[in-house]
Amino acid sequence: MSIILGIDVGGSGIKGGPVDLATGELTADRLRIPTPSKSTPSNVAAVVGEIIDHFADQIGDTPVGLTFPAPVVHGTVPFIANLDQKWKGLNADAYFQEKLGRKIVLVNDADAAGLAEVHFGAAKGNDGFVVLTTLGTGIGTAMIYRGVLIPNAELGHVELDGHDAEKRAASSIKDKEGLSYEEWTYERLQPYYAHLEMLFSPDLFVVGGGVSKDWDKFGHLLKLRTPIVPAVMRNKAGIVGAALKAKDAMEHPEPKIKG
């Protein structure tokens, strides 16, 4: 049984748990610790270290997967919105390894959710091109082709009606503007997904984010050629996806990129 610790870093909480990657199930109750109000690299690393220590007897010396609410380019965070700006430009993979004495593998949070859905969730068994979107404060996205992640896709920022798409179609905008599910779907989601369909011709869309629990209120209103289904991994998607990324890093080390 392959047990790897996944940790999901968010703006309000940092949660982690050991994952059995044969089943996608957590082998112990997850531990959640509030994100430090001053979310500097050192403060976040201290919380991550606390979670690692909590599960140390279950995970041995295996790498730890860690989701991050920002793009992660060869271990470096190019920019950050929801944590302290000291993360900007930091080689976070190397930083965590130095601070914690253990290999830490970072992955964008939407990418982690996509991996979890492809391996254990709504897209399991789909061997084609899957696009996951998380509808929340903004729109996070993941692109996975034949099980291989294409990292850091920011499809929430494609242009929609002359605007950044997430500023029109995110679920937070539905709430802010008081749109009904019908108005939101017909006026915002339908154009957004139709545009992605035209650009990428995926085999499957998976819709995540908290609003996916209300799928029966809007999913049937979308008219696309591409099948579209709600995510099923919910709150454990980040933890499971982070563990999957760590396992992949063990088996397929990232090559050195020459500039």
Q: Assess whether 25 and 83 both reside in one domain.
A: yes
Q: Assess whether 25 and 10 both reside in one domain.
A: yes
Q: Assess whether 134 and 183 both reside in one domain.
A: yes
Answer for the pair 124, 106: CB distance below 8 angstroms, yes or no.
Answer: no
Q: Read out DSSP for 58-74?
A: HHTT--EEEEESS--BT
**Residue 13, in any domain of the structure:** yes
**Residue 73, in any domain of the structure:** yes
Q: Assess whether 140 and 40 both reside in one domain.
A: no
Q: Assess whether 57 and 141 both reside in one domain.
A: no
Q: Specify the number of domains making up the chain.
A: 2
pTM for the model: 0.93
Report the mean per-residue pLDDT for the chain.
94
- Please report which helix (H) or strand (E) contains residue 42, including its range: helix 41-54
Structural domain for 193, as ranges: 122-232
Helix axes 41-54, 92-100, angle to 10 degrees: 60
**Residue 209, in any domain of the structure:** yes
Which one, of 135, 143, 130, lies nearest residue 227 by Cα? 130
Beta partners for residue 104, in sequence order: 64
Q: Read out DSSP for 118-181?
A: HHHSTTTT--SEEEEEEESSSEEEEEEETTEEETT--GGGSEETTEETHHHHSHHHHHHHT--H
**Residue 259, in any domain of the structure:** no
Q: Assess whether 11 and 95 both reside in one domain.
A: yes
pLDDT in tens, 13-48: 999 999 999 999 999 999 999 999 999 999 999 999
Task: Give the contacts of 124 (CB within 8 A, at least 6 positions apart).
Answer: 117, 118
Distance CA 190, CA 177 (A): 17
Q: Look-up: residue for tokens 């989701």?
A: 67
Q: Assess whether 76 and 126 both reside in one domain.
A: no
CATH of the domain at 48: 3.30.420.40
Q: Assess whether 242 and 166 both reside in one domain.
A: no
Distance CA 93, CA 143 (A): 22
pLDDT band at 156 (very low <50, low <70, confident <90, very high): very high
**Residue 116, in any domain of the structure:** no
Answer for the pair 112, 242: CB distance below 8 angstroms, yes or no.
Answer: yes
Stretch 154-175: mean pLDDT: 94
pLDDT at position 255 is: 63
Q: Assess whether 104 and 128 both reside in one domain.
A: no
pLDDT in tens, 140-153: 999 999 999 999 99
**Residue 204, in any domain of the structure:** yes
> Looking at the predicted structure, is the pLDDT value of residue 161 above 90?
no
Q: Assess whether 91 and 186 both reside in one domain.
A: no
Q: Assess whether 129 and 227 both reside in one domain.
A: yes
**Residue 240, in any domain of the structure:** yes
**Residue 258, in any domain of the structure:** no
Q: Assess whether 128 and 209 both reside in one domain.
A: yes
pLDDT in tens, 67-121: 999 999 999 999 998 899 999 999 999 999 999 999 999 999 999 999 999 999 9
